[in-house]
Amino acid sequence: MRARQACLVCLQNQAENVCKMLHTSHAKDIAQAINKKLSHFKDAKDTAQNPNSPITQPLYPPQIAISIYAYLAAALGVEDPFLHIKQESMVRANAIINNLLARYSPPELKYIESSTESQAQYSLDSITQRLDWAVRMAILGNVIDYGSQSAFSFEHADFGFESMQFGIFDIQAFAKALDSAQSLLYLADNAGENIFDKVLIHTLKIIYPNLRIYYALRGRAIINDLTLADMAHPLAQDMQKFCTLLDSGVRSPGFVYDDANAKTRAIYDSASVILAKGMGNFECLESSKDKRLFLLFKVKCDVVAHFCGVQKGMMMFKHNV
């Protein structure tokens, strides 16, 4: 999805929020410098200032964020401004997921009656129900986002399992794709989400014990997105029981194939199924129509809501064909 004029305003607001968060004394100077950087992408001919009109360059919104957050880090003298927030997010997320798991047990996996003990197989209906439950658990983690249009706080966030609404929910296609899959590439998003992602990844390993799963992380600190270093947190370390952690090399808060390192590109190319989590990954990948690709995210801004034809706040699980 090509960046729109409204995306520039969103990035400006994000930068100002970071300055407020860190209580910097030169926030005004930083804001002016970032506004100047963003002005290069504005269309001078767009006198109506339509928020949904494309910017002057064919870039995804997360690609613009690369230079903005690199400047922010340099100006603030902090390589990872969101480090403490990412660590706190994992702690808060862990408490939330434990509460959810206590209230909403996973549906039982039922064996096919004709299967033998040595070659036991689960019924397709019970697999789909279990995946449905796990996908819903995972997408609740996407509520966590300090880079979205609105300011985020755990106190006011809605982690309601029963109240979430989907604009698209392609669970049947997901179950079908997994049935013959040998490998799955899971493109991660924000810190804290990994606690929710673990529920889905663990579920996948229960149903498909031979499935190779790769969990791809950002190549450097940007906003509150997960990096390999973040996965050293005590609450994140056990993810490695179920999957292989992968430093993607990607610098933006969205997966850009050409920015990924050679290892990640090779895994992307060969993966049987690709699950991209979060709106940034959606923005970068929605134009890549691929039967292997599934996009799982919450619609957090007016631009994406308009693009998808759904209301802001809705959940999306889209088979990107």
What Å distances lie between residue 38 and 43, 68, 76, 207, CA to CA? Answer: 11, 8, 18, 47
Instruction: Check whether residue 112 and residue 50 sit in a common domain.
Output: no
Instruction: Check whether residue 56 and residue 167 sit in a common domain.
Output: no
Instruction: Check whether residue 205 and residue 100 sit in a common domain.
Output: yes
- What is the extent of the structural domain holding 51? 5-76
Query: For residue 119, what pLDDT is reported?
Result: 54
Residue located via tokens 């973040």 = 230
3-state secondary structure 10-55: HHHHHHHHHHHHHCCCCHHHHHHHHHHHHHCCCCCCCCCCCCCCEC
Instruction: Check whether residue 212 and residue 181 sit in a common domain.
Output: yes
Instruction: Check whether residue 197 and residue 111 sit in a common domain.
Output: yes
Which of 30, 59, 76 marks a domain boundary? 76
Instruction: Check whether residue 161 and residue 298 sit in a common domain.
Output: yes
Which of 46, 76, 106 marks a domain boundary? 76
State the Cα–Cα distance between residues 19 and 12, nearest whole angstrom: 11
Q: Which CATH number is 96's domain given?
A: 3.40.50.10880
Considering only CA atoms, which of 189, 154, 155 is closest in space to residue 278?
A: 189
pLDDT tens across the length of the chain (321 residues): 889 889 998 888 888 888 887 788 888 888 889 988 888 887 666 655 688 888 888 899 999 999 899 998 898 888 898 999 999 999 999 999 999 999 999 999 998 876 555 556 899 999 999 999 999 999 999 988 776 656 678 887 888 898 899 999 999 999 999 999 999 999 999 999 999 999 999 999 999 999 999 999 999 999 999 999 999 999 999 999 999 999 999 999 999 999 999 999 999 999 999 999 999 999 999 999 999 999 999 999 989 999 999 999 999 999 999
Instruction: Check whether residue 123 and residue 207 sit in a common domain.
Output: yes
Which of 76, 100, 117 marks a domain boundary? 76
Instruction: Check whether residue 63 and residue 98 sit in a common domain.
Output: no
Instruction: Check whether residue 36 and residue 129 sit in a common domain.
Output: no
Considering only CA atoms, which of 69, 49, 72 is closest in space to residue 61?
A: 69
Query: For residue 48, what pLDDT is reported?
Result: 52
State the Cα–Cα distance between residues 138 and 198, nearest whole angstrom: 8
Beta sheet of 183-187, edge-to-edge order: 166-169, 315-319, 293-298, 273-277, 183-187, 212-217, 244-247
**Structural domains in the chain (count):** 2
Instruction: Check whether residue 179 and residue 33 sit in a common domain.
Output: no
Q: Which amino acid is at 189?
A: D
Instruction: Check whether residue 229 and residue 88 sit in a common domain.
Output: yes
State the Cα–Cα distance between residues 199 and 136, nearest whole angstrom: 10
- The predicted-structure confidence for 77-112, as pLDDT tens digits, reads as follows 888 989 999 999 999 999 999 999 999 999 999 988
Residue 187 sits at the vertex; the CA angle it makes with 52 and 134, to the nearest 5 degrees, is 100
With residue 213 as reference, give the H or E element that holds it: strand 212-217
- The predicted-structure confidence for 140-178, as pLDDT tens digits, reads as follows 999 887 766 566 788 878 888 988 999 999 999 999 999
State both tokens at 63: 């690609």
Query: For residue 239, what pLDDT is reported?
Result: 97
Instruction: Check whether residue 168 and residue 257 sit in a common domain.
Output: yes
